[in-house]
Amino acid sequence: MSDRSLPLIPRDRAAHPPAYDPDYKTSVARAPRQALISMDSTPTEEHGPRFGHDLLGPLDNDLVLNWTKGAAPALGERILVHGRVRDETGRPVPGTLVEIWQANAGGRYRHAKDGYLAPLDPNFGGCGRTITDDRGDYQFLTIRPGAYPWPNRGNEWRPAHIHVSIFGSGFGQRLITQMYFEGDPLIAHCPIAATVRDRGQLEALVAPLDMAMAKPMDFLAYRFDIVLRGRRQTMFENRPEGL
């Protein structure tokens, strides 16, 4: 993903959420207890195996239809989520794999360990993927996810959110973040969102309603732009893996 002719702008690791945050209970057990050590990346991490761009199907970025392969639409509020992936200099990043996963309209994941009361939607899987185009743009048609409760300090609810993964040019390059929705009052109560200490950086994870891209009588739209690093970088919840 990087252009070696340009100077490298290092990721501002101090700006990312801390690994250890007592208000986010599961972070306590998984946070490193000793100083991190630096390891060189391996050829496998830098060069492969990597995703084959020809493996995408026509419905892969359509979560309304992809679980049933087009046979029946998922239940819920239809939305378009779109945006542009840019590098540290503001240039678009074309040809990069963007993946999302999310709960259904009721706030339930299609996952063996999700026991929330809300039912599964037989027509909704909750995963999608796409490749950015020549302008670095991506889009998904999906269902607005519901809020869901999770065990943390007691009465805790995640704001509606979509998990987003960006793959780079090698197997070891993957960044993961979460997109929230403009106007959601639960964002201010969420201990996971609160791990992003800087208000401006948290606000960059909140996708604004984009009426210009909404389709009348069909779907609303939200815009979520992603900046890989530099001063305007999107907050990622993981560190680069390997590289």
Active site residues: 109, 148, 158, 161, 163
Q: Tell me, what DSSP letter sits at residue 209?
A: B
The rounded distance, in Å, linking the Cα atoms of 139 and 215 is: 14
CA 130 to mean position of chain CA atoms? 13
Question: 10 Å Cβ neighbour count for 132?
Answer: 22
Which H helix or E strand runs over 169?
none
**Which residues touch 218 (CB under 8 Å, ≥6 apart)?**
78
By three-state DSSP, how is residue 26 classified? helix
